[in-house]
């Protein structure tokens, strides 16, 4: 049976990761995979949610801690931080960082170039802090998995 005939659309890995991260971001503390699955409306299998969370863990996008027999998951960064992490991975994979950065900057529009200059100016004296907001609190879904 084709995807069309089942009435469902296959979502890409990046889209599913974004959905899971969004759900985790809505929690006021660590959340279990079962809680994430429920938050997403239950249309993803539990094993799919676990697979996505495990991939995000490997990418450094989430952290986990034991919560009974399960794990509680927390985003390691917000969406902007995750995009920046992907950009750094791409840059790290290239041998000529200067050429890659130069090409990137010359491809920016005037507004983005101005914004980048402003951000670089501010970053010179600013400390780099974690953007997760240091969320703490109860584990969402603990004991439910």
Q: What is the pLDDT of residue 135?
A: 45
Q: Is 63 helix (H, G, I), strand (E, B) or coil?
A: strand
> Residue 51 burial by CB count (10 A; 0-12/13-18/19+): exposed, middle or buried?
middle
Q: What is the pLDDT of residue 141?
A: 67
Q: What is the pLDDT of residue 8?
A: 56
Q: With pLDDT > 70 as the criterion, what percentage of the chain qualifies?
A: 77
What is the block-wise mean pLDDT of the chain (145 residues), using blocks of 10 residues? 50 81 91 96 92 92 93 87 81 93 93 93 66 49 57
Q: What is the CA radius of gyration of the chain?
A: 19
> Which DSSP letter does residue 69 get?
T
Q: Are 21 and 56 in contact (CB under 8 A)?
A: yes
> What is the pTM (predicted TM-score) of this model?
0.60
Distance CA 94, CA 41 (A): 40
Distance CA 141, CA 145 (A): 7
Q: Which two tokens stand for residue 34?
A: 């079962």
| Torsion-angle region of 136 (φ positive above 0: left; ψ -120 to 50: alpha; else: beta) | beta
Q: Which two tokens stand for residue 8?
A: 């469902």
Q: What is the pLDDT of residue 40?
A: 94
Q: Which two tokens stand for residue 136?
A: 């703490």
């Amino acid at each position: 049976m084709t995807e069309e005939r089942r009435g469902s659309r296959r979502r890409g890995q990046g889209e599913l990761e974004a959905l899971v991260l969004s759900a985790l971001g809505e929690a006021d503390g660590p959340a279990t995979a079962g809680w994430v699955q429920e938050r997403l409306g239950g249309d993803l299998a539990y094993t799919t949610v676990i697979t996505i969370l495990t991939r995000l863990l490997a990418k450094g996008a989430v952290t986990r801690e034991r919560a009974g027999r399960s794990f509680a998951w927390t985003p390691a960064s917000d969406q902007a931080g995750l995009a920046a992490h992907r950009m750094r991975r791409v840059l790290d994979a290239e041998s000529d960082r200067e050429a890659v950065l130069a090409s990137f900057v010359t491809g920016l529009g005037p507004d983005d170039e101005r914004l980048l200059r402003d951000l670089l100016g501010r970053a010179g004296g600013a400390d780099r802090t974690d953007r997760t907001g240091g969320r703490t609190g109860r584990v969402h879904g603990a004991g439910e998995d």
